[in-house]
Amino acid sequence: MPRPGYMVSEIYKNLLKKRATILYPFKERELVHLPKGFRGRIIFNRDKCIGCQMCFRVCPAQAIKIIEDERGKRPIFFMYRCIYCGSCAEYCPVKAIELSDIFENIAFNKKDLLVK
């Protein structure tokens, strides 16, 4: 067991050191090098979408819901369910879905993790 005097000196030494962690998510992380082909947060181009619902059919994680808006059927993506398989982007006939390099999919509110 360490001697109490040693422990106190260690505590003081570490109190003066620069913090080793960051106050994430309040402070931004430095960008890490992402591997080629990295699949991150979905970017959906609503104007390109033709409402075929193919993305909804192929999603293995039930991360897509189809809603009806003024232009017809359109998907909504729940990023908190997404497993980043990329199937929706692969099967979309008009390339309206892209998997970006945004890897920070965290939020205090679930609504902030919807992609419309």
Give me the residues paired with residue 98 across strands: 43
For the bound state, the minimum distance from the C-beta of residue 90 to ligand SF4, rounded and expressed in Å, comes to 8
Question: Tokens 């913090």 sit at which residue?
Answer: 19
Q: Which is nearer to ligand SF4, 22 or 67 (CB)?
A: 67
52-73 in b/e form (b: 16+ CB < 10 A) is: bebbbeebeeebbeeeeeeeee
Q: Answer yes or no: are the C-beta atoms of 100 and 34 closer than 8 Å.
A: no
Under the criterion CB under 6 A, does residue 8 sit at the interface with ligand SF4? Answer: no
Helix H or strand E encompassing 87: helix 87-91
For ligand SF4, the binding residue among 7, 22, 34, 83 (CB under 6 A) is: 83
Under the criterion CB under 6 A, does residue 94 sit at the interface with ligand SF4? Answer: yes
For the bound state, the minimum distance from the C-beta of residue 64 to ligand SF4, rounded and expressed in Å, comes to 5
Grouping H, G, I as helix, E, B as strand and the rest as coil, residue 19 is: coil
Under the criterion CB under 6 A, does residue 96 sit at the interface with ligand SF4? Answer: yes
Under the criterion CB under 6 A, does residue 77 sit at the interface with ligand SF4? Answer: yes
Contact positions vs ligand SF4 (CB under 6 A): 49-55, 58-59, 61, 63-64, 75, 77, 82-88, 92, 94, 96-97
